Amino acid sequence: MIASKIRSLEKKPWMSDMMDQSDREFADIRPRRHPGWYISAAFLIVLTIWFASSLAKNPNIDYETIGEYFTKDVILGGVVNTLLMAALSMVFAVIFGTLLAVMRLAGGPVWSAFSWLYVWFFRSVPLLVLIIFCGNLALLFERIGVAIPFTETFLFSVPTNSVMTAFVASIVALTLHEAAYMAEIIRSGIMSVDAGQRDASKALAMPAYKSFFLVIMPQAMRIIIPPTGSSVINTIKATSLVSVIAGSELLTRAENISATNLKTIELLLVACLWYLIIASVAGAAQYYLERRFGKGFTKSRQTAKVPVTQA
């Protein structure tokens, strides 16, 4: 039937026209021209130069101050604190988020409901509110420690303000918030893995936790990494919010300085430059992680289709 369709195709006039020219050389096909690309590039470059020059000539920006503060110890200390804060809260958020995702998917009805509630709550509360709340925890609980439930009897306790420093409170707030998002990212990663993979590891009698760490997670990572990269960059930037409780990170320090020397724009630009640098490094790290976990998947389409027949 298919063969007869093809035979009817040969009779089409346009087809024989094409066939007549079949001795023409088609071997060297060049790509299409794209003059639009050069025009767009020129347009954007001019626009950028214009904006840059208006910034450069702007009398309201004191470039010496930017240079001076860019590498000052106070600012560098702030950068270190920002990095530390973001890194610690991200690590905790990933661990906690993985737990929440596993609870949701395989924790039975009780833990699954708990996980759902957690995600619902901490995605609904604005991060800024959470940060202010954690920073003022001492107003709610004067002391924290180990107590007998439902009584006021402490076995061990310390004043809240002695542990919940602004720095710790920031990490707690960022972790609680970010864990909710990480739980959803990791859950979607786990669900993206083909059900056959679970069947196969079960049929190979692998214990559930080994199948999770050796089969499911390595494949889920491909899906998890890109949004997690965004999350990391988000968290780095979100650390600036803790300036409201004086978290002593980059923005807090920049603002403290500008509060005394009144160079508001200059110090904001210093902070901005540092955020740009940190976020770029994080983005580069993501690229290498993606390559690492893409193993066995990348370029598979092209090579897998090579017909290999063996008797």
Q: Contact letters (x/-) for other proteins, 264-293, by CB under 8 A?
A: -----------------------------x
Please check whether residue 127 is in contact with residue 241, taking contact to mean a CB–CB distance below 8 angstroms: yes
- Residues near 26 by Cβ (< 8 Å), separated by ≥ 6? none
Among 160, 170, 201, 240, binds other proteins (CB under 8 A): 201
Q: Does 7 contact other proteins by CB under 8 A?
A: yes
Q: Does 148 contact other proteins by CB under 8 A?
A: no
Please check whether residue 247 is in contact with residue 167, taking contact to mean a CB–CB distance below 8 angstroms: yes
Q: Does 300 contact other proteins by CB under 8 A?
A: yes
Shortest Å, Cβ 51 to other proteins: 46
Shortest Å, Cβ 286 to other proteins: 19
Shortest Å, Cβ 20 to other proteins: 13
- Residues near 74 by Cβ (< 8 Å), separated by ≥ 6? 253, 256, 257
Q: Does 3 contact other proteins by CB under 8 A?
A: yes
Please check whether residue 82 is in contact with residue 74, taking contact to mean a CB–CB distance below 8 angstroms: no
Among 29, 140, 155, 304, binds other proteins (CB under 8 A): 304
Shortest Å, Cβ 22 to other proteins: 9
Among 174, 206, 227, 258, binds other proteins (CB under 8 A): 206
Q: Does 188 contact other proteins by CB under 8 A?
A: no
Pairwise CA distance, residues 99 & 57, whole Å: 53
- Residues near 115 by Cβ (< 8 Å), separated by ≥ 6? 100, 101, 103, 104, 107, 183
- Residues lying near other proteins in the complex (CB under 8 A) are found at 1-3, 6-7, 9-10, 194, 196-197, 199-208, 210, 214-215, 218-219, 293, 295-297, 300, 303-304, 306-311
